[in-house]
């Protein structure tokens, strides 16, 4: 009799073991000659050498499946333990599988183009109105690269630009003041990574979420770096951010040039970067439009209404100016 220790470190143990340890109980029943105990990410098994070796092999296969699809069902366990290939969802353009096996994929032509641009370029600009899925797809691509061990970490950043409330007036310490600006990034991650695993990634800094000001002086190697809401960066900030890219790094910059919250006297760094970097090899650019909005259908109508109002306002302003000149 020997004892083997199997570590399942790439999945959330809660997802792996199942509700009320139902998955683990099934696995025990499929290996009746072995004594199996599981706690956290550690599984101990005692028994014959050949059988414990087979047990370890099957556990690793189950871990690989659970890591890819973020779920483990009774049918999958039975298939893998019995040596069969489990049925896998066959969907085009799937990036990753989120919580409970939810497939995350490009939902329109421009999202698919963004996936291709990320694959082909080290820097991708994703531009367009709110609700087009720019940030969500960017984070999905970063999580996929991390899961596939193409990179060692994910860096997510946003400029902490005030829009109405002053940072100093918000309660709490610096983290409490900054977190509301970064909440959309947390929301996307929570859709894609089980809670226990996400906490581990955040605690060990495998995934880092920080305001743009904290990027200065860093060289970001072996990482996917995402800058969200880039239209609110200054020219100096975006240049500083772009030059953080290190070896084996990929960068995605998202923004909407129609929603700039900077003071009127401050130019948008994103607008300047798009102009300066136009035509530079290794840089992709995807432009989303109103028709790419994937939120509630009302969002598209809201965007169209504001665009119409803006155009009307410009026309009225020009008319007033013409009257003043004529008078």
Percent helix, strand and coil across the chain, each to the nearest 5? 50, 20, 35
Alpha helices in 82-164 (DSSP H): 109-120, 134-147
Q: Give the pLDDT confidence score for residue 29 in this predicted structure.
A: 94
Instruction: Output the pLDDT for position 242.
Output: 93
Q: What pLDDT does 91 receive?
A: 57
In the block, tokens 């002086």 appear at 217
Closest CA to 237 of 211, 263, 203, 207: 211
Cβ–Cβ under 8 Å, residues 194 and 70: yes
Cβ atoms of residues 227 and 252 within 8 Å: yes
Rounded CA-CA distance 40/278 in Å is: 50
How far apart are the C-alpha atoms of 265 and 270, rounded to whole Å? Answer: 15
Which tokens is 95 given? 């990036």
* pTM given for the model: 0.78
- pLDDT tens string, the chain, 327 residues long: the values are 889 999 998 888 888 998 889 999 999 999 999 999 999 899 999 999 999 999 999 999 999 999 888 888 899 999 999 998 887 766 567 899 888 788 898 888 899 999 999 999 999 999 998 889 999 999 999 999 999 999 999 999 888 765 444 555 556 665 666 677 788 888 999 999 988 889 999 999 999 988 887 888 888 899 999 999 999 999 999 999 999 999 999 999 999 988 888 888 888 999 999 999 998 999 999 999 888 887 777 877 787 788 778 776 655 555 554 555 455
Helix (H) or strand (E) holding 316: helix 297-326
Q: Please name every residue paired with 124 in a beta bridge, in sequence order, or none if there are none.
A: 252, 284
What does the pLDDT read at residue 131?
85
Q: Long-range pairs for 20-27 at CB < 8 Å and ≥24 separation?
A: 22/74, 23/72, 23/74, 23/77, 26/74, 26/77, 26/78, 27/59, 27/62, 27/77, 27/81
3-state class of 45 per DSSP?
strand
DSSP element (H, E) containing 132: none
- pLDDT in the model for residue 119: 93
DSSP code string of 180-233: HHHHHHHHHHHHHS-HHHHHHHHHTTSEEEEEGGGGTT--B-SEEEEE-SGGGS
- Sign of CA pseudo-dihedral 257, 260, 263, 266: negative
Specify the pLDDT at position 146: 94
Distance of alpha carbon 141 from alpha carbon 238, whole angstroms: 21
């Amino acid at each position: 009799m020997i004892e083997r220790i199997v570590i399942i470190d790439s999945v959330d143990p809660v997802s792996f073991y199942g509700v009320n340890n139902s998955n683990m109980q099934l696995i025990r029943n499929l290996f009746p000659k072995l004594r199996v105990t599981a706690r956290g990410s550690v599984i101990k098994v005692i028994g014959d050498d050949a059988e414990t070796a087979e047990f370890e092999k099957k556990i690793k296969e189950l871990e690989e499946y659970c890591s890819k699809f973020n779920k483990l069902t009774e049918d999958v366990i039975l298939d893998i333990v019995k040596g069969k290939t489990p049925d896998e969802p066959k969907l085009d353009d799937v990036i990753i599988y989120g919580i409970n096996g939810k497939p995350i994929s490009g939902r329109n032509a421009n999202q698919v183009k963004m996936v291709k641009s990320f694959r082909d370029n080290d820097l991708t600009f994703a531009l367009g109105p709110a609700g087009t899925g720019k940030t969500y797809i960017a984070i999905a691509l970063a999580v996929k690269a991390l899961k596939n061990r193409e990179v060692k970490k994910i860096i997510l950043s946003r400029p902490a630009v005030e829009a109405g409330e002053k940072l100093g007036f918000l309660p709490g310490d610096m983290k409490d003041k900054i977190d509301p600006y970064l909440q959309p990034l947390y929301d996307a991650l929570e859709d894609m990574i089980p809670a226990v695993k996400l906490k581990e990634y955040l605690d060990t800094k495998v995934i880092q979420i920080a305001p743009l000001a904290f990027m200065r002086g860093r060289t970001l190697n072996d990482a996917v770096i995402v800058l969200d809401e880039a239209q609110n960066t200054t020219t100096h900030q975006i240049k500083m951010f772009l030059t953080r890219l290190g070896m084996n790094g990929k960068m995605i910059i998202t923004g909407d040039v129609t929603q700039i919250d900077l003071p009127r006297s401050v130019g948008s760094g994103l607008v300047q970067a798009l102009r300066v970097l136009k035509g530079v090899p290794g840089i992709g650019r995807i432009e989303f439009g109103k028709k790419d909005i994937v939120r509630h259908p009302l969002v598209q109508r809201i965007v169209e209404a504001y665009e119409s109002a803006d155009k009307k306002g410009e026309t009225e302003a020009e008319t007033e100016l013409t009257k003043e000149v004529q008078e």
